[in-house]
Amino acid sequence: MERLWAPWRMKYILSSKAEGCIFCQKIAEKNDEENLILYRGKSSFLILNTFPYNCGHLMIVPYRHIGDLEKLSDLESSELVRLTQLSVQTLKAILKPEGFNLGMNLGRVSGAGVKDHLHIHIVPRWNGDTNFMPLLANTKILSESLKETYKKLVQGFKVKG
């Protein structure tokens, strides 16, 4: 039997799960590099997903703890869209994906991992990035560490933001 090691997962498996909202905690800590926060806007921020579907999987999150899309302010709504555009532009320039999946999961039954703090997922896609590994081996292959991806992307957001 072949084995594929993913030692970065052990940190998550063994970590104690904090009470409260992970997004609210990370933004309050003011430690952007450790928390993988790429950009802080007026009402929202960009963060790398700690357990990504693909390299460069970003989330755009309003600062305000809110779970209802229809309750966003005009500023929050417009900045979420602006940061989505900025994210796609920056990812295209730096990681050169061939496409994107953009989306939100509103509510637990839709798959929201953080159900009370809405966020937009931006998942870069490349031809052939889906394969048998997640289905048969329950293993996702990422070609680069989160820290390396962060270093590349944070520079792009500093220039464009």
Cα–Cα nearest to 150, from 104, 91, 92: 91
- Residue 16 confidence (pLDDT): 63
40: its two tokens: 């802080």
91: its two tokens: 């990812």
pTM: 0.79
Residue 53 burial (C-beta neighbours within 10 Å; 0-12, 13-18, 19+): middle
77: confidence class by pLDDT, cuts 50, 70, 90: very high
Parse the chain into domains and list their residue ranges: 19-160
Which amino acids are annotated catalytic? 119
Specify the CATH architecture of the domain 19-160: 2-Layer Sandwich (3.30)
- Residue 137 confidence (pLDDT): 46
